[in-house]
Amino acid sequence: MNKKTKIALILLSLAALSGCDTDSLSDSNDEQTTKKSATSVGIFPTAGVDIATNGGFEEWSETGEITGWDTIDTYGIAIAQNTEIFEEGTSSGAFTITNDKPDFRQNIEVVNGKTYTLSMSIYHTEGGLKTRLYLDTYTDLYSDESLVNEWQELSVEYTAIESKSIEIGMRFYEEDAFDGEEIVYIDNLKLVESGTAVAAPALLPPPSISDDSEALAAYYSSAEGKTGLELKTELYNIIKGHNSQDYNDLWTFMSTYSLDTYYENDNTILDIYSENPSTSDSYSFTPVTHQCGNYSEEGDCYNREHSFPKSWFDDDYPMYSDVHHIFATDGKVNGYRSNFPYGEVDEATFTSTNGSKLGSPISTLGYTGETVFEPIDEFKGDLARAYFYMATRYENVVDTWSINSENADAVLDGSQGLVFEPWVIEMMKEWHDNDPVSAKEQYRNDAAFMFQGNRNPFIDHPEYVNQIWAD
């Protein structure tokens, strides 16, 4: 079997496992920029059945009224479809709240003895309201009103003690900052029968392509002999058009392929902001069970950290769900990191339990801003290679991102070529060299390839970094 045949068979077998469009794996001219629908979830089996009605806010009457919901307190809620800010599908519900404690609910039939999980995504715009989940009664779970202009996910469980009709939904509460009117976006509301939904699925292990020199040679064959920006563009042609997955599928990826089988080797979530490589962790996260949710302290839950902050690219797909730059991290520490640049800290204002720091940059960094976030040395190379991947995979659009925020502008130079400011290139190359590719990265790269159909070239070929971003 020749090299090209071998890699083709690998790609086709991965496509069969994942439901990928094989055209998107082979046609380097078609740029896929839309996420997959909720009914197509890659390699992952459906976990339970969602019995909520129109929880994705996709169905509206011809006159613009929401369908499938029974209780709408019109004295305090005006609801409309929004097709610009949404978490899943093509739209969300835009709730304009003008009074305290209005309700929005629907009736659902539940079965005695069965356990259900109610979850939803919430997007606050001003911070003057809390959203409280309703599941047969008012729960103790509220949204965090201080998290504005970003999605947060809430979920709560319920076990039916009799077969009956219950109500699910939410209530909105005024806070001190409420000025009489605020828009809250709601999306992706689901009521799923638990059991299979809360257990990590048994999936096939990722193919060991990292150890297959012939398969890798075939995958990168068109880049052979190229250097500099010509090499970067060819790598872009190789890895673009990947099979973009839904953002929620990342939970299943993390519960399966982001596990600690390297340090404590206990199959808990490998959180790069809390993992202590040389000693026991201060806390650990059970896959699925400890997904965020609300958090108030470090150790409450784990989140999906966009190492390349989503505010830098306007929350657009496919980068929003591109697993090559999204890592499992402690929710609270993720919140501290916010969208600050990675850097090296002089004086820390916050230090996580594993030594990750937020604070002022060292004077020799070359960055004139006030705040950077520094991960521990064990994961600096991982993050540097994720950044080099992002600069390459999104070469066609990355030149427009520097204007999206002050922190994006501090890191990005507004070009499609080198992409980063000189201080970032120097630091990331140093992190890349000092923290070489590890077995955990190779394994995760293989898993990502199975998940979305492309690879991080800088894990497979670390030498590409210095061939492109030469001194």
For the chain, domain boundaries: 71-193, 209-468
Structure tokens at 58: 């996709």
Q: Please check the confidence at residue 202 and state whether its pLDDT lies above 60.
A: no
What's residue 2's pLDDT?
42
User: Residue 397: which pLDDT band, with cuts at 50, 70 and 90?
Assistant: very high
Q: Poorest-confidence range of 64-78, 230-244, 397-411, 425-439?
A: 64-78
Candidate CATH numbers 3.40.50.880, 2.60.120.260, 3.30.2270.10, 1.10.10.410; the one for domain 71-193: 2.60.120.260
Taken as a whole, the chain contains a residue count of: 471
Looking at residue 277, what DSSP letter applies? T
Report how far Cα 143 is from the mean position of its chain's Cα atoms: 19
The pLDDT confidence band at residue 113, using thresholds 50, 70 and 90, is confident
Report the pLDDT value the prediction gives residue 196, as an integer from 0 to 100. Answer: 36
Which stretch of 63-77, 188-202, 206-220, 453-467 has the lowest confidence by average pLDDT? 188-202
How far apart are alpha carbons 156 and 118 in whole angstroms? 5
Q: Quick check: 377 pLDDT over 70?
A: yes
Q: For position 15, what pLDDT does the model report?
A: 40
Residue 16: pLDDT over 70: no
pLDDT tens sequence across 261-286: 999 889 999 999 989 998 888 999 99
Task: Look at residue 20 in the predicted model and tell me its pLDDT.
Answer: 41
pLDDT at 360: 96
Specify the pLDDT at position 112: 85
Distance CA 352, CA 374 (A): 10
Can you tell me the distance from the alpha carbon of 188 to that of 176, in angstroms, rounded to the nearest whole number?
A: 28
Q: In this predicted structure, what is the pLDDT of residue 194?
A: 65
Q: Average pLDDT, stretch 227-249?
A: 93
pLDDT on residue 292:
87
How far apart are the two ends of the chain, measured CA to CA in Å?
40
Confidence of residue 26 (pLDDT cuts 50, 70, 90): very low
Q: List alpha helices for 260-404, DSSP H.
A: 331-337, 380-393
Span 296-304, mean pLDDT? Answer: 91
Q: Is 269:179 a contact under the CB 8 Å cutoff?
A: no
How many C-beta atoms lie closer than 10 Å to residue 218's C-beta? 19
A 10 A CB-CB count for 85 gives 16
- Predicted pLDDT at 272: 94
Interior CA angle at 469 toward 452 and 342, to 5°? 70
In whole angstroms, give the CA distance from residue 183 to residue 179. 11
Per-chain mean pLDDT for the chain: 85
268 contacts 284 by C-beta, under 8 angstroms: yes
Whether 155 and 66 have beta carbons less than 8 Å apart is answered as: no
How distant is the alpha carbon of residue 87 from its chain centre?
A: 11
Q: Rounded mean pLDDT of 248-264? A: 91
Tell which wins on pLDDT, 202 or 366.
Answer: 366
What's the pLDDT tens digit per position in 408-461? 999 999 999 999 999 999 999 999 999 999 999 999 999 999 999 999 999 999
Res. 223: pLDDT tops 50: yes
Q: At what angle do helices 380-393 and 439-452 cross, to 10 degrees?
A: 30
Per-residue confidence at 27, pLDDT binned at 50, 70, 90? very low
Q: Report the DSSP beta bridge partners of residue 302.
A: 291, 330
| Single pTM value for the model | 0.64
- What pLDDT is recorded for position 205? 59
> Is the pLDDT at 213 greater than 70, yes or no?
yes
Average pLDDT over residues 397-413: 92
pLDDT given for residue 174 in this prediction = 94
pLDDT digits (tens, 9 = 90+) for 125-182: 999 999 999 999 999 899 999 999 999 989 888 888 888 899 999 999 999 999 999 9
Q: How confident is the model at residue 235 (pLDDT cuts 50, 70, 90)?
A: very high
Task: Tell me what pLDDT residue 30 has.
Answer: 39
Which tokens belong to 144? 């965090």
Query: What are φ and ψ of residue 89, in 5° steps?
Result: 75, -135
CA atoms within 13 A on the CB side of 144: 17
Helix (H, G, I), strand (E, B) or coil at 143: coil
What is the pLDDT, as a whole number, of residue 23?
37
| Whole-number pLDDT of residue 185 | 97
Residue 149 CA to residue 75 CA, distance in Å, equals 25
Q: Retrieve residue 228's tokens.
A: 């500099």
Of the candidates 271, 276, 298, 296, the residue with the CA atom closest to the CA atom of residue 286 = 271
Backbone angles phi, psi at 377, to 5 degrees: -60, -30
- Name the residue with tokens 């002022």: 360
